[in-house]
Amino acid sequence: MCVFYAPSLADISAAEVKALREKTGAGMMDCKKALAECAGDAEAAAEWLRKKGLSGADKKAGRIAAEGAVARYIHPGSRLGVLLEVNCETDFVAASEKFQSLVNELGMIIAATDCICVSPEDMPEEVLAKEREVEMGKEDLANKPEAIRAKIVEGRLQKMRDQSALMNQATLSNPDKTVSELVKETIAAVGENVKIRRFTKYRLGEGIEKKSNDFAAEVAQQTQAKAAAPAAPKKEEPKKEEAPKKPTVAVAAGAVKELREKTGAGMMDCKKALAENEGDMEKATEWLRMKGLAGADKKAGRVAAEGVVASYIHPGSRLGVLLEVNCETDFVAASEKFNELVNYIAMGIVAGQNVQYVSADEIPAEVFEREKQLEMAREDLKGKPDAIRAKIAEGRAKKIATEMCLLDQPFLTDPSKTVAEAIKEAIAAIGEKISVRRFVKFQLGEGLEKKSNDFAAEVAAATGQK
């Protein structure tokens, strides 16, 4: 009969203890005892430590982590980008090489995988509801009883949750290890709780319908339409009395150049517009718009599905933005002028504390109504008639709405013009439609309750003093 003996403490190697320590964060002697108790099995030893409450990573998991970093990963080519927030307990650890290495790898993993949430429990309910409906309608479940169908569908949804969670993805540095395990190892190494709080991923042009240019078909269609249209009979129009000619206004070349840069219209059109409006730049701009000659306005209806996904992280890694700006061709997307504009817009979003939407059209009606009601309730309006209060409150709400919109903000390098005006000037200079499609902004620890350390009180509580 063979008798198997469990290894004693002396039989456990230092390398085995070190590996278990790095994985769990438990003390050296606890790790050695766990391996001895579990016959040298590292997985069983890790579980043993957890049950005994000796695993450092698990003990730290309940602690508040409100420091950390807002980071980004932009894939080469600027067609895919990630913004993420990872928290720890102190700014000292946030600046450490180990923590920064984790954050950088997480950004690349998010970009490389189809994950849409941090953990399975974070899967958005609307996504689950849609997938549930799709699964319930599949052919392979059509003949099964309702209860069985529901059970199978929930099993499939759980599998989808697991596959879509970042914590379950394989790491890039070691495909045999999950992100969850990598985070635990980092906790053990740095001695603080570490949490992946949130992330957003943008893929350039997703959801935008690209225009397919079939020029031969377009020419044929226009020719047929012209041939099919009956010729309109010519009418003799009565001769109009000639209006007295306006005195010729001398137009400076510098003024023509400025109007051209502002509107994108042709040189002669700009010259004529200035002459017609006695050199008034604003009136000339409006004149060109009314005549349909302003290049920026003519380009506004074109499809812009190229461009870049870009990011700006403010020094200190406590505030960051991810945005998508579209143009019509990848040639323009790679140009210095376009990328300079994008970078200034990104910095402007960070600088504008209240900026939440691209334009006023995106502000939900309930948000505007809430702001209006808040203004109506202010002390300085209480003595005024209802009609006057409502008018003042609406004016204030509109001002707040303007502060929320990116396009209405002063442009970073020239506050005399808005972001919308800076974009129009770029359209005129570059010759393509440009539009800010979307952006997201993360501020480190926003909404997290930070722990206030009163060490005297902690010591008193620990020693039973009052």
How large is the average pLDDT for residues 277-306?
A: 71
Least confident of 151-155, 291-295, 369-373, 418-422: 291-295
Predicted confidence band of residue 441 (pLDDT cuts 50, 70, 90): very high
Measured between alpha carbons, how far is 237 from 241 in angstroms, rounded to an integer? 12
**Percent residues over pLDDT 90 in the chain:** 41
How large is the average pLDDT for residues 371-388?
A: 84
Q: Is residue 29 part of a domain?
A: yes
CATH of the domain at 290: 1.10.8.10
pLDDT in tens, 139-153: 888 888 888 988 999
CA separation, residue 258 to residues 205, 266, 282, 326, 441 (Å): 33, 12, 11, 25, 35
In the chain, how many domains are there?
2
Q: Is residue 168 part of a domain?
A: no
**Which one, of 374, 369, 436, 376, lies nearest residue 408 by Cα?**
436
Sign of CA dihedral 377, 381, 383, 385: negative
- Compare 73 and 31 and report the one with higher pLDDT: 73
Q: Looking at residue 94, what is its pLDDT?
A: 95
User: How many CA within 13 A on the CB side of residue 38?
Assistant: 20
Least confident of 36-50, 153-167, 390-404, 450-464: 450-464
Q: Looking at residue 452, what is its pLDDT?
A: 53
Q: Is residue 272 part of a domain?
A: yes
Question: Does 459 score more than 70 pLDDT?
Answer: no
The model's pTM: 0.68
Measured between alpha carbons, how far is 418 from 392 in angstroms, rounded to an integer? 25
- Compare 196 and 231 and report the one with higher pLDDT: 196
Please give the residue range of the domain that contains residue 270. Answer: 249-303
Q: Is residue 293 part of a domain?
A: yes
Packing angle, helices 267-276 and 253-263, rounded to 10: 110
Mean pLDDT, the chain, integer: 83
- Compare 97 and 53 and report the one with higher pLDDT: 97
Q: Is residue 337 part of a domain?
A: no
Q: Which amino acid is at 145?
A: P
Q: Is residue 172 part of a domain?
A: no
Rg of the chain over Cα atoms, rounded to whole angstroms, equals 32
CA 172 from chain centre, in angstroms, equals 23
Contact 263, 295 (CB under 8 A): yes
Measured between alpha carbons, how far is 327 from 337 in angstroms, rounded to an integer? 12
Q: Is residue 382 part of a domain?
A: no
| Direct distance between the N- and C-terminal alpha carbons of the chain, in angstroms, rounded to an integer | 64
